[in-house]
């Protein structure tokens, strides 16, 4: 038998910002390749290494471990300019990237006109989604509309310029319709982006082939999702979602491997719930508690700096995430943020607007804003957990809280994170 590697997906189980970057950073130590499978520069992973803080938008968090290969799969929308700003910033901070970063030739290009469109569409929309304004939605629309440009197109300048001219004409018309004449510096921005085309082609690869070959050679691979399950285009709180499939099955499509190559799916859940952008948050705290936990957890967006709304742990959503992603395990993050609370609530079910009770996450997003969560109250542990490294050393009430998360979610807790630092992690079992 040839050696067989292993392939693990890391997926967010709430509305994003669960701390996936930290978990990927911890697990990356033992793998050979880390690949992103969807999203774009709207994701923002914050990773602390020693005293240094790194905010990564497009390059996988695995890049902070020397020698690991980091890939961006075909499922991502790649903002070339932003990508190289991030790449060069890592080089400036002394990270050796030689031969370490690869980009799928099939990845879609996110171009400056997508950003213009994103802002114009959002400001004209009757129902605001709360997008990051980074052009992600319009880039995925172009992909589905078969008008998009891919990394491979950069290799044929004649065809590229023809398609870009057509795109710019389309965009100008659309911006006019939206009442936005903001095409100002578009030509300059396009030139800047395309001038980086050769550089991007020099690191282009076939991510599916590369990962499949690595697995056959016995190597270990992590596939890293952006955002979270409740923001998935199909399984999230549509229309308040992102424009790609964030969930685990998309890790195969978004990198070019077969679903049978995936061995494990680790879902990252925060020990409470947060949401940035518009849309319902059933377990939202009352204003005073909201502000308190936001301050304790530093809940401000890594990409936009927007304050995140905070709430109690929602096991209805966690069960939905366990099912949709086929979770084989859970990583619970930010347990330490709850250290000072005297009691904690976990939502076990929802009372729907018509009075019925459900334990399942409703498909009708609009009904979610009228649900009343049914809570179970648990005692807090009121002791610091940041220095704990073994499960048995956690206060009994903290273990009780984790046990309840595990029972209600239906997937075993495999990791508990108790701080921002790499070493602040408790492996379970
Ligand atoms: P991601 O997009 O899912 O990677 O999440 P973000 O990076 O947007 O948000 C996670 C934030 O929480 C970052 O600032 C992390 O440093 C921080 N973080 C991650 N795990 C923990 C933890 O266990 N405890 C605390 N206090 N902070 C954490």
Indicate yes or no: pTM above 0.75.
Answer: yes
Ligand 1 centroid from CA 296, angstroms: 12
What sign for the dihedral angle of Cα 301, 303, 306, 311?
negative
Rounded Cα–Cα distance for residues 221 and 218 (Å): 10
CB of 296 closer than 6 A to ligand 1? no
Q: Who's near 150: CB < 8 A, 6+ residues apart?
A: 105, 106, 107, 108, 109
Rounded Cα–Cα distance for residues 32 and 232 (Å): 27
Q: Are 245 and 234 in contact (CB under 8 A)?
A: yes
Which structure tokens are listed for 8? 């693990």
Give the chain's mean pLDDT. 92
Rounded Cα–Cα distance for residues 388 and 332 (Å): 14
Given this model, what pLDDT does residue 303 score? Answer: 67
Query: Which residue owns the Cα nearest ligand 1 atom 11?
Result: 19
Reported as a single tens digit per residue, the pLDDT across 342-386 is 999 999 999 999 999 999 999 999 999 899 999 999 999 999 999
Query: Which residue owns the Cα nearest ligand 1 atom 18?
Result: 420
Given this model, what pLDDT does residue 245 score? Answer: 97
Q: Are 26 and 425 in contact (CB under 8 A)?
A: yes
pLDDT confidence band for 2 (50 / 70 / 90): low
Report the share of the chain in percent with pLDDT over 70: 97
User: At 175, which helix (H) or strand (E)?
Assistant: helix 157-177
Q: Which atom of ligand 1 is nearest to the CA of 417?
A: 23
Which structure tokens are listed for 427? 């492996």
Reported as a single tens digit per residue, the pLDDT across 85-124 is 999 999 999 999 999 999 999 999 999 999 888 888 877 7
Given this model, what pLDDT does residue 260 score? Answer: 96
First to last CA, the chain: 29
What does each C-alpha distance from 314 to 55, 93, 131, 284 come to in angstroms?
27, 39, 23, 10
Cα 13–chain centre separation: 10
CB of 18 closer than 6 A to ligand 1? yes
CB of 336 closer than 6 A to ligand 1? yes
Given this model, what pLDDT does residue 334 score? Answer: 98
Q: Which residue has the higher pLDDT, 130 or 194?
A: 194
Q: What is the mean pLDDT of residues 278-302?
A: 93
Which positions are annotated as active-site residues? 17, 45
Given this model, what pLDDT does residue 20 score? Answer: 93
Which structure tokens are listed for 218? 């016995």
Using alpha carbons only, how large is the chain's radius of gyration in Å? Answer: 22
Ligand 1 centroid from CA 101, angstroms: 24
Report the share of the chain in percent with pLDDT over 90: 77
CB of 36 closer than 6 A to ligand 1? no
Given this model, what pLDDT does residue 122 score? Answer: 78
Which structure tokens are listed for 424? 């602040």
What sign for the dihedral angle of Cα 60, 62, 66, 68?
negative
Q: What is the mean pLDDT of residues 248-266?
A: 97
Site to substitute for ligand 1 among 22, 39, 299, most atoms within 8 A of C-beta: 22
Query: Which residue owns the Cα nearest ligand 1 atom 8?
Result: 17
Which structure tokens are listed for 406? 């595990």
- pLDDT above 80 (res 396): yes
Q: Which residue has the higher pLDDT, 167 or 338?
A: 338
Degrees, nearest 5: CA angle 153-156-160? 60
CB of 45 closer than 6 A to ligand 1? yes
Q: Name which of 3-7, 57-61, 318-322, 388-392 the model is least confident about.
A: 3-7
Given this model, what pLDDT does residue 183 score? Answer: 65
Which structure tokens are listed for 86? 């991030």
Given this model, what pLDDT does residue 123 score? Answer: 77
Given this model, what pLDDT does residue 3 score? Answer: 63
Largest CA distance in the chain: 66
Rounded Cα–Cα distance for residues 236 and 38 (Å): 15
- Least Cα distance to 58 among 27, 104, 99, 117 occurs for 104
Given this model, what pLDDT does residue 188 score? Answer: 78
CB of 299 closer than 6 A to ligand 1? no
pLDDT confidence band for 242 (50 / 70 / 90): very high
Site to substitute for ligand 1 among 420, 423, 424, most atoms within 8 A of C-beta: 420
CB of 337 closer than 6 A to ligand 1? yes
Ligand 1 centroid from CA 311, angstroms: 16
- pLDDT above 70 (res 126): no
Given this model, what pLDDT does residue 133 score? Answer: 79
């Amino acid at each position: 038998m040839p050696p067989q590697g292993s392939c693990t997906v890391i997926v967010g189980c709430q509305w994003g910002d669960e701390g996936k970057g930290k978990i990927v950073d911890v697990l990356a130590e033992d793998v050979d390749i880390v690949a992103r499978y969807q999203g774009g520069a709207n994701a923002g992973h914050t990773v602390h290494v020693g005293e240094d803080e790194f905010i990564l938008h497009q390059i996988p968090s695995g890049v902070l471990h020397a020698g690991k290969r980091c890939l961006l799969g075909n499922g991502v929308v790649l903002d070339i300019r932003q990508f190289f700003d991030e790449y060069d910033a890592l080089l400036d901070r002394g990270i050796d990237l030689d031969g370490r970063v690869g980009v799928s030739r099939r990845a879609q290009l996110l171009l400056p006109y997508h950003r213009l469109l994103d802002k114009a569409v959002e400001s004209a929309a009757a129902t605001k989604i709360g997008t990051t304004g980074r052009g992600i939605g319009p880039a995925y629309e172009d992909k589905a509309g078969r008008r998009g440009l891919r990394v491979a197109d950069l290799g044929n300048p004649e065809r590229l310029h023809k398609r870009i001219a057509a795109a710019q004409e389309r965009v100008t018309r659309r911006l006019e319709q939206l009442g936005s004449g903001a095409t100002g510096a578009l030509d300059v921005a396009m030139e800047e982006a395309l001038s980086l085309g050769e550089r991007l082609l020099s690191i282009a690869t076939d991510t599916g082939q590369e990962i499949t070959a690595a697995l056959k050679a016995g190597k270990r691979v992590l596939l890293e999702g952006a955002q979270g399950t409740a923001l998935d285009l199909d399984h999230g709180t549509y229309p308040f979602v992102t424009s790609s499939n964030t969930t685990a099955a998309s890790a195969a499509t978004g990198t070019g491997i077969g679903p049978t190559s995936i061995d494990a799916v680790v879902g990252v859940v925060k020990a409470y719930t947060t949401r940035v952008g518009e849309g319902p948050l059933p377990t939202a705290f009352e204003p005073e508690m909201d502000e308190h936990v936001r301050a304790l957890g530093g809940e401000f967006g890594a990409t936009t700096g927007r304050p995140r709304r905070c709430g109690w742990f929602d096991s209805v959503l966690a069960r939905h995430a366990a099912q949709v992603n086929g979770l084989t395990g859970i990583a619970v993050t930010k347990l330490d943020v709850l250290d000072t609370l005297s009691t904690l609530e976990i939502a076990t079910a929802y009372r729907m607007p018509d009075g019925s009770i459900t334990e399942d996450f409703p498909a009708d997003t609009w009904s979610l804003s009228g649900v009343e969560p049914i809570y179970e109250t648990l005692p807090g542990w009121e002791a610091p957990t940041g220095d704990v490294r073994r499960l048995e050393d956690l206060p009994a009430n903290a273990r009780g809280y984790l046990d309840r998360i595990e029972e209600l979610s239906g997937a075993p807790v495999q990791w508990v994170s108790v701080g921002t630092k790499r070493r602040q992690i408790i492996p379970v079992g």
